[in-house]
Structure 1
Amino acid sequence: MRLLLAALLCLASLPALADSYLTRQLNHPVPGGVAVLDLGKAPSAPEAFYDGKPVLVVKEQANWRAIVGLPLSAKPGAQSIQVREGAAQRSLSFGLGSKRYPEQRITLKNQRQVNPNPADLARIDKELAEQTRAYRSFSPNTPSNLLLDRPVGGKLSSRFGVRRFFNGEERNPHAGLDFAVPAGTPIKSPAAGKVILIGDYFFNGNTVFVDHGQGFISMFCHMSKIDVQNGQVLARGEVVGRVGSTGRATGPHMHWNVSLNDARVDPAIFIGAFEP
C-alpha cells in the first residue's frame, strides 16, 4: 500500500516538474501567441527554427527553452520546430490551438489612408521592405528580460489581433497593443536593447524599432517625438520617445508591436495581460 501511494505521489508531481516559470507565464500557443518548448539539457544552446526562421532560445535552470512566435496566419493543429545541436538535428512537435479575435470599425477622414494613391503605394512598399528587414534581425544577445515592463501606464484601448475595418473596408488585423495615454507621455523601453531602425512612415508615423536580442523586437509608432538615435544601446526603462498621433491614427495613443522570429505576437502575453 505504501509503495502504491508513493508511486501515485510521484506521478502526480510529474506535470509540476515538467512545467516551468516561462511556460506558465508565456505559453499561449494560438495564432498570434507564443509557444514555450522544452529543448532539454545540453552543454551549449541548441539552435531552433520555426518556418525556416531562427527562434529565441534561453536557459531556464538546467533546461533550454525555445520561445516561438506564432503569426496570426498560423493554422491550428500540429506544428513543429527544427532543433539543431551540433551535427544532430531533430523535429519537435507541438499543438496550436485556435482563437477568435473581435472586430473593430474605424472611420477616417483622410481617404488616402484607406485607399492610398499610386505615389503613396510606392512609398508604402519601400517602407514595408525596410521594416521587414528590421523585424528579421537576429542578434546573438540574450534578452535582459522576457517578462516585459509596460512602455507606458494607462489602460489598454485596442488589443492585438482585432480585425479592422476602415471606412467599412477590411484591412490587416491590428498587429500590436494600444494604450490610451495623452500626447507627450514618455515611452520607455520594456527591456534593454539596441535601436535598429527609425523612420517616419505613411501608416506608422514616427517609428522606432528596438532589438532586445535573438529576434525579440519591439516597435513603437505614431510618436510625436523620437528621443533616440539609430544604433543607440538602451537600458531597460530608458525613454524611446513621446506619445503622439502621427501616421494613420485617429488620436494620441501608444502603439506597441512585439515580434519573435519575424512573427507579430500579442504584447499582452509579456506583461501578464493576455486574454484567451
Structure 2
Amino acid sequence: MRLFTLITLFCLALPAHAQGFITRLLDQPVPGGVAVVDLGAAAKAPSATYQGKPLLVIREDGQRWIAIVGLPLSTKPGTERIELDSGERLSFQVRAKHYVEQRITIKNQQQVNPNAANLKRIERELAEQTRAYQQFSPRQPSNLLFDKPVNGPLSSPFGLRRFFNGEERNPHSGLDFAANQGTTIKAPAAGKVILIGDYFFNGKTVFVDHGQGLISMFCHLSAIDVRVGDELPRGGVLGKVGATGRATGPHLHWNVSLNDARVDPAIFIGAFKP
C-alpha cells in the first residue's frame, strides 16, 4: 500500500507530458536561439508560421507535434507568438541573453569599407544567399542532434558584436571552428546542396538544405567538393577548410538558419552556453 502511494505521488508530480529529447536539446528561447512550442497530439501534422514564415514541425517521441522556431538576434525578450493553420495563436516567452564583443583588425580596407563596385557585388551576392536561406522544402530533417562539421575546437562563438578596424558591423551570425587549411568538412545532417558560390565576404561557400527551412551554410572554404543538386548523407564530404573571403586565417564558419533566422549552431551540437 505504501509503495502504491509513493508511485501515485510521483506520477502526480510529473508534468502532464514530459519533455522529449528534441525539446530538451533545442529549447533555448533567447535572441538568436530556438523555441520549441507544443502543438498537441492531433492525428495530422499542423502547419505553423512565425512572422509570416513557415516553421519546422515534427512529431516528438511518436506522440505530440512540436514547432521548432528560429529566433533572430534582433528578437526582444518577452512574449512571442506563432500562428497555426487553424488560426489559433500560441505564445512562448523569450529570455534575455548577453553577447560579448569581438575586435578584429583587417589589412584589406576594401573588406571594411568596400568601394561602389564591390558594394554592387556584395548586394547581388547577398540577394542570392538570402533566397537560399528562404527556401522551405517538405523533407523531414534526418537528425536534429547534429554532428560537428569538422574536428576542431570552437573559436569565435555565435552572436559576437563585431568591430572591424574599430567600426561596428553585423553580429557574428555563425559558429567558427579552428581547423587547419585543407581539413575535411562533413555534413552535420543529410541534405541537398542548394547553392555554391565564391563571395566577397564569405569566400568559397556551400549551402545545404536539411529540410523544412533548416539550412546550413559553410564558408571560407579552400575547396568545394559538391555541386548544386547533390544529395549529401550525414557525414558526407562537402569541401575543405580555407581562408577565402574576409578571413584572417584558416577556419570554418558554419551558419544554421531556421525559418530564415540565423540561430546559434551550438544548440544543435549540444554545446550551447546560456
TM-score, normalising length from structure 2? 0.96
1: CA distance between counterparts of 2:162 and 2:205?
Answer: 21
Q: Does 1:122 align with 2:120?
A: yes
- 1:93 deviates by 0.2
Q: Secondary structure at the match of 1:133?
A: helix
- Equivalent AA in structure 1 for residue 24 of structure 2: R
> Residue 26 of structure 1 aligns with which residue?
26
> Residue 68 of structure 1 aligns with which residue?
69
1: CA distance between counterparts of 2:101 and 2:110?
Answer: 22
- 1:102 deviates by 0.5
> Residue 155 of structure 1 aligns with which residue?
153
- Equivalent AA in structure 2 for residue 67 of structure 1: I
- What is the 5 A alignment of 1:212-223? 212-223=210-221
- What is the 5 A alignment of 1:90-109? 90-109=88-107
Q: Secondary structure at the match of 1:101?
A: coil
| Alignment length (residue pairs) | 272
> Residue 273 of structure 1 aligns with which residue?
271
- What is the 5 A alignment of 1:1-276? 8-14=9-15, 17-60=17-60, 61-84=62-85, 88-276=86-274
The structure 1 segments of at least 4 consecutive aligned residues displaced by more than 4 Å after TM superposition are: 1-8
1: CA distance between counterparts of 2:84 and 2:47?
Answer: 6
TM-score, normalising length from structure 1? 0.96
- 1:10 deviates by 3.5
- Equivalent AA in structure 1 for residue 214 of structure 2: F
Q: Secondary structure at the match of 1:132?
A: helix
2: CA distance between counterparts of 1:142 and 1:230?
Answer: 20
- Equivalent AA in structure 2 for residue 77 of structure 1: G
- Equivalent AA in structure 2 for residue 89 of structure 1: G
1: CA distance between counterparts of 2:206 and 2:59?
Answer: 29
Per-residue CA deviations over 1:20-79 (Å, capped at 9, x if unaligned) read 211111100000000011111112211010110000001112111111000000111000
Seq. identity, %: 69
Q: Which runs of 5+ in 1 are unaligned?
A: none
- 1:18 deviates by 3.4
